[in-house]
Chains A and B, each alone.
Chain A
Amino acid sequence: MTPQALYLAPTAKLPYCRGCGHSLVVRQLSAALEQLGLPPRSVVLTTDIGCVGLADALFPYLHTVHTTHGRSTAFATGMALAEAVMESPGLKPIVMIGDGGAMIGLLHLVHAAQLNVDVTVLVHNNFMFGMTGGQHSALSPLNWVTATTPRGNWTPPLDLLALLRTAHATFLARQLATSRELAGAIAKAISSPGYSVVEIVELCTAYGTRWNKASGASLEDIVRRQGYAFGEVESVMERPAFREIYRREMESPRAKRAKLPLPRISTLAKLPGEVRMVVAGTAGERVQSAAKLFCQAALAAGLYSTQKNDNPVTQGSGFSLSEICLSPKPIEYTGMESPDVVLVVSEDGWKELEANGTVAACRDETLVVLDSQIDMVPPRGHVVRLPFRREANPQRAALAAMAAWLEKDPLLPAEAWEAVLASEPADRRAESAAALEIGRRLAR
């Protein structure tokens, strides 16, 4: 087959209105593909909603993907991203989108520019929505009459290319559909290794010329009056394309972080049944981290555990708590109907346990270990007050409180803590060991 026959058949009957710029664009796209000599199976034409969406059927040998409105660039970006990890890359996604689609999918045009994926977007800017009856778009010029701006458009049009330039797009060009340079611009856009956008200015002959004094001859004037540049607006070929950046990322040592093995010990804990414990304090004071260490120690000792955390939406203020269930068997319900042990190391923690019903759910035999600074009294429970915050500092108070409890009620063998601490980073290890020691000392 001749290259021509591989793209747009010269005899193809185009579905567009007489004089519509879309017909010119599909022919120029075909000419650009011929010029580049790209194998048709290495090209995917991704079309948006609107009259541009009729273009796929005109290219019977290319892969075609007809998408939802505005999302064509995002789907094409997904295909281009995949190229970075394909064994045999080489796909060239080309997007055909209108001015309406470019605005509803603006985020996709912007992010593709930031990523610098190898996607070429052809924006068919005819100043309005054609297929739906000639409505106003975000790219309609000032005073442009449309079905929905019968007195003329009063919102200034968006300079798409200026915007994409700030998003670091590497190749940007604006051409009239009638321009002889259009095929060359499209070819350059496709062959560039990164992201390219060509805005093609044209007229909707169904509605644009019906309601406005506009013709092919006045088109350039309309655009220039808006202060928009023609030709190549941006061409920075040295910026690396996404594929190159990602391949580097994959080979970097950061990407291959090994997992630390979880410690196991030989002395297993002997727990007759389930133990449910709540530890509560202030966000940012390592309450949930202490709970995690505790669960790891329990795991090392052969127990099952669940750790259910809660905190406000904010990360570093207000309360922070963990509800822990320990059991010799797999655990079903992870909540806290009535706790066996409650450890509270700050007022924030206490207030939350009052609010969420934990305090009221305490039984007479519940062990309630409080920091000395909390002068509240639960209605039921065996209360112990110790100065964790003062002695161990607030950051280590939760861990100290756990150690104090375990000193009274030795559920876990000391070996379990040692094994867990040994797997901690060195700086953390000393700090945690100190907290545990303070807790034990206070309990004694």
Chain B
Amino acid sequence: MLAEGALAAGCRFFAGYPITPASEVYEVMMRELPALGGLALSAPDEISSLCYCVGASLRGLKAMTATSGPGWALMIETVQYALMTETPVVVALVQRLGPSTGSATQGAQGDIGLAEFSTSGGYTIPVFAPSNAAESFELTVHAFNWSERLRTPVLLLSDKEVGMTSEVVDDEALQIPLLVNRTMATGQADYAPYAAEEPEGVPAFAAVGGEIKTTVTGSAHDTQGRLRKNSPQVIEVLKRLQHKIEAHAEEMAMVRPDLDAEARCLVISYGVTARAARQAVGKLRREGRRVSFLQIQSLFPIPRKWLVRAAAGVESVFVAEENLTGQYRAALTPYLSGKRIYGINRIGALISPSEIAGAVEGAMA
């Protein structure tokens, strides 16, 4: 469904390299894209996959690749290049158990840190995390839209259990947003490829090969794309790369809240674990507990307003995620001051609804 979402979003270029559990996306794109007038290609490694995508996007095509943790590790150099050159591109990271080669057929949610905190300078890469097949479709369209609108790499953080589990989807119930395309530059004489009107603005795009001369560079540059050192304009461009994401954080926020104004505790989860958490919250409520639930779909930028709203009035917050150290919990903690924060963590298997319910009951007893 992630691949189907990409096709619906207007993706017309895909380069891939086989890796479990992301190979299905690769195979669907290889099968479907040519008939839609797009190009799908086998690359010789993950570095090439993403470089090809960025090259095609510079030429004007919507592009995507799909990989898992080991491949993502190789792509980080090029993700930073896409970020610096403001080139739209979408990467689907279908997580498996790490570190290193880890376990190819074992799901995990262990790449949150590797995904988000992977740039020199600590820039925010928008990350969307689907929890099921329908969300895989919908969030992929959103990922492309934001990538185009903000001219940024966007990450889809799936995992083996979401990516490789077959399930029934009601296609008529899919919430498909309107498609967004990058704003193209008009005029010619004074085109500055990295100039925006506001400090958090997005420059208009001129494709390589088009009538407007464009200058692309991954090195620190001024608004004209010229390599400069000690120029205040360079620092302004570097700041804008972050500000343009932050300025749209609330608009980008996507959550599935199920809040109870009287709740004493809040359960937060994302991706595949959100499904177990939702089921656990249902069980706790049937037992008479007042519990709020927040599934976060847009992991980064962190949907702060939603977080604050969901946590208002509760004493305890539980964050359920399938990793050892609570990577997303650590990222949320600064926005949950004054709350008791508990992690519900496990590796090597799905976290079950009874595990989550049990943890909440134990702490609230």
Contact = CB atoms under 8 A, between A and B. Distances in A.
Nearest to B107: A308
B219 interface: yes
B286 to A, nearest CB: 14
Most chain B beta carbons < 10 A, residue from A68, A90, A249, A303:
A68
Measured as residues with beta carbon below 8 angstroms from the partner, the interface class of chain B is 35 or more
Contacts of B216: 63-66
Contacts of B218: 66-68
Interface in A75-134: 75-86, 90-91, 107-108, 110-111
Contact of A78 (B52, B165, B170, B219): B52
B51 A83 contact: no
Given A57-B227, A63-B213, A111-B48, A305 B168 contact: yes
B229 to A, nearest CB: 13
A68 B81 contact: yes
B167 A331 contact: yes
A337 B353 contact: yes
Most chain B beta carbons < 10 A, residue from A41, A65, A82, A255:
A82
Interface stretch (B37-45, B233-241, B245-253, B335-343): B37-45
Q: Is the interface of B mostly helix, strand, loop or mixed?
A: mixed
A78 B47 contact: no
Given A71-B51, A78-B58, A335-B276, A246 B39 contact: yes
Nearest to B43: A111
A306 B209 contact: no
A85 B38 CA distance: 6
A250 B15 contact: no
B97 to A, nearest CB: 11
A334 interface: yes
Contact of B275 (A56, A107, A108, A332): A332
Given A66-B218, A85-B61, A257 B31 contact: yes
A363 interface: no
B214 A63 contact: yes
A41 B210 CA distance: 7
Given A66-B219, A74-B48, A333-B279, A255 B55 contact: no
Nearest to A47: B217
B137 interface: no
Interface in A249-297: 249-250, 255-257, 292, 295
A65 B39 contact: no
A333 B279 CA distance: 7
A77 B35 CA distance: 22
B350 interface: yes
Contacts of B329: none
A71 B301 CA distance: 29
B53 interface: yes
Contacts of B214: 63-64
A369 interface: no
A75 B58 contact: yes
A303 B168 CA distance: 8
B226 interface: yes
Interface in A388-403: none
A88 to B, nearest CB: 9
Contacts of A67: 81, 218
B166 A78 contact: no
A107 B39 CA distance: 21
Contacts of B211: 41
B352 A74 contact: no
A62 interface: yes
A137 interface: no
B109 to A, nearest CB: 14
A44 interface: yes
User: What are the 3 tightest A-B residue pairs by CB atom distance, in nearest-first order?
Assistant: A78-B55, A74-B51, A78-B52
18 contacts: A63-B208, A63-B213, A68-B81, A77-B48, A78-B51, A78-B54, A79-B55, A81-B15, A82-B60, A84-B39, A85-B37, A85-B39, A91-B59, A107-B47, A257-B35, A308-B161, A332-B278, A333-B353
Interface of B: 12-13, 15, 20, 31, 34-35, 37-39, 41, 43-45, 47-48, 51-61, 63, 77-78, 81, 103-105, 161, 164-168, 170, 208-211, 213-219, 225-227, 272, 275-276, 278-279, 349-350, 352-354
Given A41-B209, A41-B213, A86-B59, 8 more contacts: A78-B54, A78-B59, A79-B55, A79-B56, A250-B34, A256-B35, A257-B31, A333-B279
